[in-house]
């Protein structure tokens, strides 16, 4: 399905900064992260600044979101995070009302950590919880108890943060709807404004994957596929009862608190990725950095990944959102015709409870999200 894009390259970008350091590696983690040694953190921060310098121009690139992800950004401390953000402000034209997020592990947020982040201009925190159940947390290698996450959320609020997210995982060993309900209640009681709920995946090369290969799902007390689907649907419904509206396959928020940075990905907006393994979509091109930290510090060049921004990509990403594909937005970006072609194909799903279909929009239902890959592949063919 070929449709030309009329995307405006002058729109404000997102900036992603990858911090690949952790106190220890979680059993299931496939992200680019290491336990640091020596002076590697400071050398890495210097390399981040040099990479950012490469985007210096006479007319500064405008940005309205910054996201520190990892790894564990909080592990390198508030002073380093503040220093990086200050440097980004020198290189980029970052809006006064920009959303600036840092992922944090509750175990590395003590003292005046949050106050120092507030003072440097950060205004959103994402805390790792995964589960409030001790047995589930132990099974995936989480080191601290859940109460540390609640205390971190309270400390962040006291420091002045009013936009706080907690991460949950679905399909964990021993997990059932009762334990998941307790984890969701935990999030609501912590007073956060956003919850991400991701289905656990066994990524090749991780300790979790190796253990699963040897012991099998039953011995590891993993819920089967049907049970995971039930957990997902329960989470979506119960989070809504708690006031968290679903706006993306795995993301839920209180009114007005979507992740503006992540929304850029799903809306096929451009972003610049800084740091090891970081991906970028900038000036119509996709590229990414090496996963080798030593090579990155030495100044390795980004690896081209082809052009981006076509309609198939837009369709795939927009259908991750609860609002789905909107006619007037689609026609504004790709001209007339593309939406109609998708609408014709979508009509076969009428009455299946998988798609919401009207003349102006197409979106997946909660049940549809569970089979989104199959449906999106059919609609984009």
**Predicted confidence band at 30 (pLDDT cuts at 50, 70, 90)?**
low
In terms of Cβ atoms closer than 10 Å to its own Cβ (0-12, 13-18, 19+), residue 298 is: exposed
Q: Find out whether 15 and 272 touch, Cβ atoms under 8 Å.
A: yes
The pLDDT value recorded for residue 2 is 58
Collapsed DSSP state (helix, strand, coil) of residue 363: strand
Q: What angle do CA 94, 97, 100 make, to 5 degrees?
A: 70
Torsion sign, CA atoms 38, 52, 109, 159: positive
What are the residues whose beta carbons fall under 8 Å from the beta carbon of 312, sequence distance 6 or more? 1, 380
Taking only the tens place, the pLDDT of each residue in 91-126 is 999 999 999 999 998 888 888 999 999 999 999 999
Residue 8: its pLDDT value, please?
45
Q: CA torsion, points 141, 290, 250, 198, in degrees to nearest 10?
A: -20
pLDDT in tens, 272-326: 999 999 999 999 999 999 999 999 999 999 999 999 999 999 999 999 999 999 9
**What pLDDT is recorded for position 207?**
66
Which residue ranges form the domains of the chain, and what is each CATH number?
A: 13-266 (3.20.20.70), 310-381 (1.10.10.920)
Is pLDDT above 80 for 257? yes
Which phi and psi (to 5°) does residue 255 adopt?
-55, 130
Cα angle for residues 315, 128, 266 (degrees, 5° grid): 10
Residue 7 CA to residue 268 CA, distance in Å, equals 9
Q: For residue 318, what are the contacts with CB-CB under 8 A and spacing of at least 6?
A: 266, 267, 268, 324, 325, 326, 330
**How large a percentage of the chain has pLDDT more than 90?**
78
Give Cα separations from 222 to 133, 208, 212, 216, 339 (angstroms): 15, 12, 9, 9, 40
Supply φ then ψ for residue 283, to 5 degrees. Answer: 55, 40
Mean pLDDT along residues 15-20: 97
Q: Which of 73, 294, 27, 60 is nearest to 172 (CA)?
A: 27
pTM for the structure as a whole:
0.93
Q: Answer yes or no: are the C-beta atoms of 253 and 245 closer than 8 Å.
A: yes
- pLDDT for residue 335: 92
Hey, how many other C-beta atoms are within 10 angstroms of the C-beta on 119? Answer: 13
The dihedral region occupied by 253, where left means phi > 0, alpha psi between -120 and 50, and beta the remainder, is beta
What's the N-to-C CA distance of the chain in angstroms? 6
Residue 320 token pair: 């991750």
- Whether 342 contacts 379, CB under 8 Å: yes
**36 Cβ partners below 8 Å, 6+ apart?**
21
Q: List 363's β-bridge partners, or say none.
A: 356
Q: Give the pLDDT band of residue 141 (cuts 50, 70, 90).
A: confident
């Amino acid at each position: 399905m070929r449709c030309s894009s009329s995307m405006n390259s002058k729109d404000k970008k997102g900036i992603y900064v990858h911090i690949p350091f952790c106190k220890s590696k979680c059993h299931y983690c496939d992200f680019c992260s290491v336990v640091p040694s020596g002076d590697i953190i400071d050398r890495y921060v210097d390399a981040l600044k040099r990479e950012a310098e490469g985007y210096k121009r006479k007319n500064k690139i405008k940005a309205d979101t910054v996201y520190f992800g990892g790894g564990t950004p909080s592990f390198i401390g508030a002073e380093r995070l503040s220093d990086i953000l200050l440097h980004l402000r020198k290189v980029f034209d970052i809006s006064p009302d920009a959303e600036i997020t840092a992922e944090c592990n509750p175990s590395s947020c003590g003292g005046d950590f949050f106050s120092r982040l507030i003072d440097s201009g950060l205004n959103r925190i994402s805390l790792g919880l995964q589960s409030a159940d001790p047995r589930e947390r132990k099974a995936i290698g989480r080191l601290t108890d859940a109460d540390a996450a609640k205390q971190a959320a309270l400390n962040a609020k006291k420091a002045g943060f009013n936009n706080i997210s907690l991460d949950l995982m679905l399909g964990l060993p021993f997990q059932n709807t009762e334990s998941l309900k307790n984890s969701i209640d935990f999030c609501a009681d912590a007073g956060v404004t956003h919850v991400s709920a991701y289905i656990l995946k066994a990524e090749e090369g991780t300790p979790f994957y190796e253990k699963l290969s040897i012991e099998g799902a039953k011995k590891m007390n993993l819920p089967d596929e049907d049970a995971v689907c039930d957990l997902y649907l329960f989470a979506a419904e119960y989070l809504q009862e708690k006031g968290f509206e679903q706006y993306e396959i795995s993301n839920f928020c209180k009114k007005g608190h979507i992740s503006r940075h992540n929304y850029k990905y799903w809306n096929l907006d451009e972003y610049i990725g800084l740091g090891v393994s970081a991906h970028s979509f900038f000036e119509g091109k996709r590229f990414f950095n090496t996963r080798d930290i030593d090579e990155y510090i030495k100044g390795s060049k980004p690896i081209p990944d082809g052009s981006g921004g076509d309609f198939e990509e837009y369709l795939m990403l927009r259908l991750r959102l609860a609002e789905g594909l909107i006619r007037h937005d689609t026609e504004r970006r790709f001209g007339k015709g593309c939406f109609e072609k998708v609408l014709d194909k979508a009509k076969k799903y009428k009455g299946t409870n998988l798609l919401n279909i009207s003349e102006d929009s197409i979106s997946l239902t909660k049940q549809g999200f569970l089979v989104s890959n199959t449906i999106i592949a059919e609609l984009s063919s």
